[in-house]
């Protein structure tokens, strides 16, 4: 592999006015001069509040227990850095089963880990990366998720950063024939949080429903990339993201790509970014690349706007205080982005509550 320092951050610039939508310079600090982490931790209070006991705990001392699978040769700096420095990896087989993976956050330095996940039957996986308060470390984690034909998988990722911590989460998900994946991602960004969720719908009749909730608190920089590629007939992709920036920076990028042959496929991407104060910055770059007239539906919509004043007034006219009205409306938007609540969605609600609590607290 070419030395990763020589590789570009991205294949192409993001816009004529702002070259990169990602805070690559923060990651560079670790790439160019960081040290592998020794100590790591997690937010104990939050974990106990969630009332969940992890089946796997990945720390800097976890060895490489599984081969690292990835669909593509890394050609970008951070990606190559990550794959060159993987020190922990685990294999998770789900067969009509559920698993919770707790990934500890380095307090200083970086920790690169990898998960190989295979799922069949009716399964679920939760990945929790709940940073302890004072962490200043970088976690880079790659997930290779393979969903066997005819299965259902629920994925829940939660990355809650401390002010000084950073994360690069990269997912390569492949959905087999007739399978359905329902993914919920909750992020509260830190110094630099990058989440690249790449999904390939390769099997006919496969479906992906992705709901992302992002909180951009003060001083944070969060970039979420939701890419979906469909090359199979009758596949369905629905991606919905809600980003709430109190005074942080949130960027949502994503390409929905539909190849020839994906007849009867449906793809929709919706991005809602809400700036709550003058210092918030919200960028969106939802793209569509459609080849041929096979697709039945391919659309996206983006809205970068504050909460509607008429709705705020309506709730206040019913007795809600201004901040209560904001909270109620943010919850309403979050519910829409995260979709309906599944029977087994016990983690999503409390995680979302936690995010909204943090947002509301910052607004006071």
Per DSSP, 6 falls in state: G
Q: How far is CA 244 from CA 3, 327, 355, in A?
A: 37, 11, 10
CA angle 110, 140, 111 (to 5 degrees): 30
Residue 363 makes contact with other proteins by CB under 8 A: no
Burial of 146 (0-12, 13-18, 19+ CB in 10 A): middle
| 124: its two tokens | 């679920």
Q: How far is CA 165 from CA 27, 35, 224, in A?
A: 11, 14, 16
Residue 362 makes contact with other proteins by CB under 8 A: no
Closest CA to 338 of 200, 154, 177, 163: 154
Residue 84 makes contact with other proteins by CB under 8 A: no
Residue 316 makes contact with other proteins by CB under 8 A: yes
Residue 293 makes contact with other proteins by CB under 8 A: yes
Contact residue for other proteins among 68, 302, 358, 363 (CB under 8 A): 302
The H or E element containing residue 247 is: none
Select the span of 109-117, 140-148, 202-210, 303-311 touching other proteins (CB under 8 A).
303-311
Contact residue for other proteins among 6, 53, 317, 343 (CB under 8 A): 317
Contact residue for other proteins among 334, 347, 348, 356 (CB under 8 A): 334
**Contacts with other proteins, 7-46, as mask; x by CB under 8 A:** -x-xxx-xxxxx----------------------------
Radius of gyration for the chain, computed over Cα atoms and rounded to the nearest angstrom? 20
Residue 341 makes contact with other proteins by CB under 8 A: no
Contact residue for other proteins among 289, 342, 353, 357 (CB under 8 A): 289
Q: Which residues bind other proteins (CB under 8 A)?
A: 8, 10-12, 14-18, 255, 257, 259-260, 273, 275-278, 280-295, 297-306, 308-311, 313-322, 324-325, 328-329, 331-336
């Amino acid at each position: 592999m070419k030395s990763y320092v020589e590789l570009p951050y991205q294949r192409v610039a993001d816009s004529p006015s702002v070259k990169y939508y990602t805070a690559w310079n923060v990651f560079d600090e670790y790439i160019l001069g960081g040290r592998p982490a020794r100590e790591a931790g997690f937010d104990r209070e939050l974990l106990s509040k969630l009332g969940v006991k992890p089946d796997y705990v990945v720390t800097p001392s976890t060895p490489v227990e599984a081969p690292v699978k990835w669909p593509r040769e890394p050609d970008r700096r951070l990606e190559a850095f990550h794959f060159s420095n993987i020190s922990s990896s685990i294999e998770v087989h789900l067969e009509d089963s559920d698993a919770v993976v707790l990934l500890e956050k380095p307090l200083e330095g970086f920790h690169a880990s990898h998960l190989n996940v295979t799922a069949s039957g009716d399964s679920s996986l939760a990945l929790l990366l709940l940073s302890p308060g004072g962490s200043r470390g970088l976690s880079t984690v790659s997930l290779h998720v393979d969903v066997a034909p005819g299965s259902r998988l629920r994925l829940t990722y939660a990355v809650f950063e401390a002010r000084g911590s950073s994360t690069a989460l990269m997912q390569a998900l492949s959905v087999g024939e007739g399978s359905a994946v329902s993914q919920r991602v909750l992020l509260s960004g830190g110094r630099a949080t990058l989440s690249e969720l790449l999904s390939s719908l390769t099997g006919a009749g496969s479906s992906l429903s992705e709901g992302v909730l992002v909180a951009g608190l003060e001083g944070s920089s969060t970039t979420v990339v939701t890419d979906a590629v469909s090359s199979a007939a009758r596949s369905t992709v629905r991606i919905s993201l809600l980003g709430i920036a109190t005074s942080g920076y949130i960027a949502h990028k994503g390409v929905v790509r539909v190849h020839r042959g994906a007849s009867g496929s449906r793809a929709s991407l919706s991005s809602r970014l809400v700036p709550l104060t003058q210092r918030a910055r919200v960028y969106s770059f939802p793209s569509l690349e459609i080849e041929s007239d096979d697709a039945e539906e391919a659309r996206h919509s983006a809205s970068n706007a504050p909460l509607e004043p008429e709705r705020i007034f309506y709730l206040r006219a019913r007795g809600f205080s201004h901040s209560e009205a904001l909270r109620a409306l943010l919850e309403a938007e979050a519910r829409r982005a995260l979709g309906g609540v599944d029977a087994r969605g016990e983690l999503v609600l409390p995680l979302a509550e936690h995010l909204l609590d943090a947002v509301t607290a910052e607004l006071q």
